[in-house]
């Protein structure tokens, strides 16, 4: 589904940050300290491996996952339904939310694409959802009470009628309280609308809006700190640009930074790490695909581009990156602060971590089950991964193991 890749068109590549564990310190950088009063040494990435256990099946193309304060996991299915799973009671038989009457699922990459709870969900029951809407596949951001779908309110839309692929679709709240939403470049291949570098469209962007207020006729406000609010011809909602298909990004609950998995054209899959003070960063597409130049005509003289912190090619069965999350759970202290992502086709799991000198280290630390479409965490920061066409939910453990004799996993 959302990860199978065909050329020239590339299919989607993949979570959102969930409720913040109460014991996390409000600000911890890339060090070995995790929870208040706790100190430990992180393992070398080559000493980590992932172990998965299937805990639910029978899902229909699950594409997004998020945790709730009460311990449940919400799982979005492509057709427009949201299912609930709890580790004590399993997968509920009936959806907790049904938006199928609104959702255009006509293409492999269209459908209900993202879901995240409001920060005050325990009191309001409000969810924020991203989907492609009927009749023409417009990218749509809305909020809806989980118990009253008839009260859904559309917040923001972007036309996306010509092609069915590259819809993005991640939604997540930042530590700043604002809502972030990712949108693909418009589809097909080769950035046909040259949207990545065009500040006049929301295509190929991550936007940031304030959903706690309304401004004029809009049911949201644009934060004054957004980078292009005073740029003529630019959409003020834009936070980052130069993206191809940011299927899954996440917010690190400790430092507020964004980790973005951006699906490549046919050469490079990339992961970007953007700090809270880097609003307005240009991630390169379609001047560049990862670090290599892709379309010189889209490269502006003197342009400044933010390099990915990790990229990998399409050999050895790789095809499409599924962006993940930074591990902030307590079960495996040795992995605390490590970003976990995967490839949809090869199922390889990648670990990426900032180093003290500002560079990054990475390693391949195992495999996920078939077709990992989204990686998420529960309220305690522990990991889950969805399997697309098998329709499964898997609990993930990170384990520390001795490195192989004479072997080094870091790339």
pLDDT at position 20 is 33
Q: Does residue 231 lie within any of the structural domains?
A: yes
**CA atoms of 342 and 351, how far apart (whole Å):** 9
Q: Which residues contact 282 (CB under 8 A, 6 or more apart)?
A: 197, 240, 241, 242, 303, 304, 305, 306
β-pair partners for 250:
259
pLDDT at position 34 is 41
Q: Does residue 23 lie within any of the structural domains?
A: no
137-143 contacts at long range (C-beta below 8 A, 24 or more positions apart): 137/104, 137/106, 137/107, 137/110, 137/161, 137/164, 137/167, 139/167, 139/168, 139/169, 139/183, 139/202, 141/171, 141/179, 141/181, 143/118, 143/211
Interstrand relation of 48-56 and 392-400 (parallel, antiparallel or unpaired): antiparallel
Q: Classify residue 271 as exposed, middle or buried by CB count within 10 Å of its CB (0-12, 13-18, 19+).
A: buried
Nearest to 210 by CA among 164, 156, 263: 156
Other Cβ atoms less than 10 A from the Cβ of 145: the count is: 16
Take residue 154 and report the two structure tokens written for it.
Answer: 């559309």
Q: What sign does the dihedral 167-169-175-176 (CA atoms) show? A: positive
Q: Does residue 142 lie within any of the structural domains?
A: yes
**CA atoms of 65 and 378, how far apart (whole Å):** 9
Please write the tens of the pLDDT for every residue from 249-288: 999 999 999 999 999 999 999 999 999 999 999 999 999 9
pLDDT at position 316 is 83
pLDDT at position 314 is 82
**Cβ atoms of residues 15 and 64 within 8 Å:** yes
Q: Look at the block and give the residue holding tokens 């079960």.
A: 331
**CA atoms of 289 and 307, how far apart (whole Å):** 10
**CA atoms of 137 and 165, how far apart (whole Å):** 10
**CA atoms of 173 and 115, how far apart (whole Å):** 11
Q: Measured between alpha carbons, how far apart are the two ends of the chain, in Å? A: 29
Task: State the CATH number of the domain containing residue 344.
Answer: 2.120.10.30
Q: Does residue 38 lie within any of the structural domains?
A: no
pLDDT at position 11 is 35
Tell me phi and psi for residue 156, to 5 degrees.
-160, 140
**Cβ atoms of residues 282 and 242 within 8 Å:** yes
**CA atoms of 324 and 351, how far apart (whole Å):** 10
Q: What angle do CA 263, 268, 271 make, to 5 degrees?
A: 55
In the chain, which stretches have pLDDT less than 50? 1, 3-39, 407-411
Q: Does residue 411 lie within any of the structural domains?
A: no
Other Cβ atoms less than 10 A from the Cβ of 318: the count is: 19
**Cβ atoms of residues 139 and 107 within 8 Å:** no
Q: Does residue 37 lie within any of the structural domains?
A: no
Q: Classify residue 119 as exposed, middle or buried by CB count within 10 Å of its CB (0-12, 13-18, 19+).
A: middle
**CA atoms of 49 and 35, how far apart (whole Å):** 22
Interstrand relation of 171-173 and 179-183 (parallel, antiparallel or unpaired): antiparallel
**CA atoms of 98 and 95, how far apart (whole Å):** 6
Which DSSP state fits 314? S
Range of the domain at 191: 45-400
Take residue 33 and report the two structure tokens written for it.
Answer: 């300290």
pLDDT at position 405 is 62
Interstrand relation of 90-91 and 321-326 (parallel, antiparallel or unpaired): unpaired
Tell me phi and psi for residue 261, to 5 degrees.
-95, 115
pLDDT at position 98 is 98
**CA atoms of 411 and 204, how far apart (whole Å):** 29
Q: Does residue 89 lie within any of the structural domains?
A: yes
**Cβ atoms of residues 233 and 265 within 8 Å:** no
Overall domain count for the chain: 1
Angstrom CA distances, 35 to 38, 137, 333, 350, stand at 5, 44, 9, 24
Q: Does residue 253 lie within any of the structural domains?
A: yes
pLDDT at position 403 is 64
Nearest to 277 by CA among 210, 354, 225: 225
**CA atoms of 347 and 313, how far apart (whole Å):** 14
């Amino acid at each position: 589904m959302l990860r199978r890749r065909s050329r020239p068109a590339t299919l989607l590549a993949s979570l959102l940050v969930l409720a913040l564990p109460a014991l996390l310190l409000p600000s911890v950088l890339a060090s070995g300290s995790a929870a208040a009063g706790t100190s430990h040494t992180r393992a070398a990435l080559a000493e980590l491996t992932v172990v998965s256990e299937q805990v639910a099946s029978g899902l229909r193309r699950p594409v997004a996952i998020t945790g709730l304060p009460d311990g449940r996991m919400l799982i979005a299915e492509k057709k427009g339904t949201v299912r609930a799973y709890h580790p004590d009671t399993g997968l509920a038989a009936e959806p907790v939310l049904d938006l199928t009457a609104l959702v255009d699922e006509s293409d492999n990459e269209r459908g209900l694409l993202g879901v995240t709870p409001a920060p005050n969900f325990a009191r309001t029951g409000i969810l924020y959802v991203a989907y492609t809407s009927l009749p023409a596949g417009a990218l749509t951001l809305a909020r809806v009470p989980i118990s009253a779908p008839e009260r859904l309110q559309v917040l923001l839309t972007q036309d996306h009628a010509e092609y069915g692929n590259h819809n993005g679709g991640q939604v997540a709240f930042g530590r700043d309280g604002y809502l972030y939403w990712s949108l693909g470049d418009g589809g097909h291949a080769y950035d046909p609308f040259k949207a990545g570098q065009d500040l006049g469209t929301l295509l190929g962007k991550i936007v940031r809006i304030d959903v706690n207020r309304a401004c004029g006729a809009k049911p949201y406000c644009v934060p004054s700190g957004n980078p292009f609010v005073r740029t003529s011809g630019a959409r003020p909602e834009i936070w980052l640009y130069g993206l191809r298909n940011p299927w899954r990004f996440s917010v690190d609950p400790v430092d507020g930074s964004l980790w973005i998995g951006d699906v490549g054209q046919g050469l490079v899959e990339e992961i970007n790490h953007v700090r809270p003070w880097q609003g307005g960063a240009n991630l390169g597409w379609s001047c560049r695909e990862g670090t290599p130049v892709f379309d010189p005509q889209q490269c502006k003289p003197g342009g400044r581009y933010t390099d990915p912190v990790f990229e990998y090619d399409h050999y050895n069965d790789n095809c499409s990156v599924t962006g993940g999350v930074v591990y902030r759970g307590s079960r495996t202290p040795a992995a605390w602060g490590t970003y976990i992502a995967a490839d949809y086709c090869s199922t390889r799991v990648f670990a990426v971590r900032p180093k003290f000198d500002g560079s990054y280290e990475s390693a391949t630390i195992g495999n996920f089950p078939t077709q990992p479409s989204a990686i998420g965490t529960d309220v305690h920061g522990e990991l889950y991964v969805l399997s697309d066409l098998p329709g499964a939910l898997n609990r993930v453990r990170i384990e520390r193991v001795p490195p192989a004799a004479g072997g080094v996993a870091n790339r």
